[in-house]
């Protein structure tokens, strides 16, 4: 929608400039009426929900409003002496307006309007956000010596009156807690309480209850980029993995323990809707690795979904050959792996995925699915929210329809948790979608 509107505005601006040059007149009065008409049309299209009002339209609305006000004032003043016609002035003004329209409509182009993936459950879904303060940990990323804080958001059945399994999500290496919002909504609509965690300074951006904003830590971001560029030795990388996973799993353990404690004493309906005897964890990329890790550490985790991540918890570093190897311990928690092409093709060639290999006997009970044509971020909502940003971050466009990918993924995750936590249905995913 943003791209189409920009093309219309650019076509109008260029055509009107050509008309002025061809007739050697400014046609200022006509342009003023057109500016007013554009603003009114924008308002009507917004009120009729053709343009769904959001942050993406704010700059465009401001620009159209300013031009309409300027045009109205000019018409009211109704100067009889028109400014002298100059071709250079027409061209210069046209170039400025083209830049202004491009800037104002950039958010609508980068973050285009899109339909939401299907939510198929019977429950209406509500959300709530909180900040938990961990009094047992000091924030390592700042010099303020404050306690570690963790921002969380819940998706839960608004109209439900029973108790529902708890599902805890961890985002990717530089992601945000809303990365898989469509997944949370689908699960909540079928009777789950889903809580997604922002890992401050690991997440791209998070805002706490008190307005505190934490952006990604520059040192951590550099570590991630260096890992992706092959800068570190395997021994150095193994040390970083342990550091990253400790922070992630400490956050997840803290959130889970906090929620379980609140379920005993807090009258907030969200906590009272949680069945503390049934719990699953899931995550994308580094969050998936942390989820697998937690599935080994905690006895109260009943099911794990790993979305496109290596089993960091199952890796050992072999110094004598400077490489990674799979551990020799059986993994007993029910596990479902979902892979994109980006990870699928590394399962046999990259030793970071040594434990993920399909012939690993310690994971013989695990389910595994591969989305053919999908890239790493195809397994999040980002290709819908911002195709341009997703393509840039993952190095190209995926060869799979984004709606098919995320809606199929959401259904599979729902079916897996239904089978493992509620004992309903029969889970038998295809190897490839």
Q: How far apart are CA 110 and CA 185, in angstroms?
A: 24
Tens digits of per-residue pLDDT, 85-115? Answer: 788 888 898 899 999 999 999 999 999 988 8
Tens digits of per-residue pLDDT, 200-233? Answer: 999 999 999 888 899 999 999 999 999 988 899 9
Mean pLDDT of 19-23: 88
DSSP string, 335-400: EEEEE-HHHHTTTTT-GGGGGG-TT-GGGTT-EEEE-TT--GGGGSSHHHH-HHHHHHHTTS--SS
- pTM for this predicted structure: 0.89
81: pLDDT strictly greater than 60: no
Residue 80's pLDDT band, with cuts at 50, 70 and 90, is: low
Token pair recorded at residue 97? 């307006």
Residue 330's pLDDT band, with cuts at 50, 70 and 90, is: confident
Tens digits of per-residue pLDDT, 290-305? Answer: 999 999 999 999 999 9
Find the length of the chain. 433
329: pLDDT strictly greater than 80: yes
Tens digits of per-residue pLDDT, 129-147? Answer: 999 999 999 998 987 778 9
Q: How far apart are CA 263 and CA 230, in angstroms?
A: 44
84: pLDDT strictly greater than 80: no
**Residue 88 C-alpha from the chain's centroid:** 46
Token pair recorded at residue 95? 């170039």
CATH of domain 125-422: 3.40.50.1820
């Amino acid at each position: 929608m943003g791209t189409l509107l920009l093309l219309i505005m650019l076509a109008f601006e260029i055509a009107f400039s050509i008309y002025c040059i061809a007739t050697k007149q400014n046609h200022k009065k006509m342009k003023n009426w057109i500016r007013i008409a554009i603003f009114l049309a924008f308002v009507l299209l917004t009120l009729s929900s053709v343009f769904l009002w959001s942050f993406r339209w704010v700059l465009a609305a401001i620009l159209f409003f300013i031009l309409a006000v300027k045009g109205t004032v000019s018409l009211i003043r109704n100067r009889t002496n028109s400014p002298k016609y100059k071709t250079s002035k027409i061209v210069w003004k046209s170039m400025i307006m083209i830049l202004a329209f491009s800037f104002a409509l950039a958010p609508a182009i980068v973050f285009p309007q899109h339909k939401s993936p299907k939510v198929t459950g019977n429950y209406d879904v509500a959300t709530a956000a909180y900040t938990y303060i961990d009094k047992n940990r000091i924030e390592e990323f700042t010099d303020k010596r404050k306690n570690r804080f963790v921002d969380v958001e819940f998706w839960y059945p608004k109209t439900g009156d029973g108790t529902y399994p708890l599902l805890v999500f961890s985002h990717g290496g530089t992601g945000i807690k809303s990365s898989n919002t469509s997944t949370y909504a689908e699960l909540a609509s079928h009777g789950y309480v889903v809580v997604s965690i922002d890992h401050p300074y690991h997440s791209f951006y998070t805002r706490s209850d008190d307005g505190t904003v934490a952006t990604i830590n520059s040192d951590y971001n550099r570590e991630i980029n260096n890992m992706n560029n092959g800068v570190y030795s395997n021994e150095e990388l193994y040390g970083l993995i342990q550091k990253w996973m400790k922070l992630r799993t400490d956050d997840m353990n803290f959130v889970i323990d906090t929620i379980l404690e609140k379920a005993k004493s807090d009258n907030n309906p969200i906590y009272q809707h949680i069945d503390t005897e049934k719990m699953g964890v899931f995550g994308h990329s580094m969050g998936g690795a942390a989820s697998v890790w937690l599935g080994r550490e905690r006895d109260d985790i009943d099911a794990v979904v790993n979305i496109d991540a290596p089993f960091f918890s199952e890796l050992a570093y072999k110094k004598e050959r400077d490489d990674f190897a799979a551990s020799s311990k059986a993994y007993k928690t029910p596990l479902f792996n979902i892979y994109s092409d980006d990870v699928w093709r590394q399962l046999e060639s990259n030793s970071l995925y040594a434990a993920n290999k399909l012939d690993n006997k310690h994971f013989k009970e695990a389910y595994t699915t591969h989305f053919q044509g999908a890239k790493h971020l195809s397994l999040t909502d980002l290709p819908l929210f911002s195709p341009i940003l997703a393509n840039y971050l993952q190095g190209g466009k995926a060869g799979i329809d984004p709606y098919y990918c995320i809606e199929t993924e959401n259904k599979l995750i729902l079916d897996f948790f239904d089978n493992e936590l509620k004992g309903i249905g029969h889970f038998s995913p295809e190897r490839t979608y």
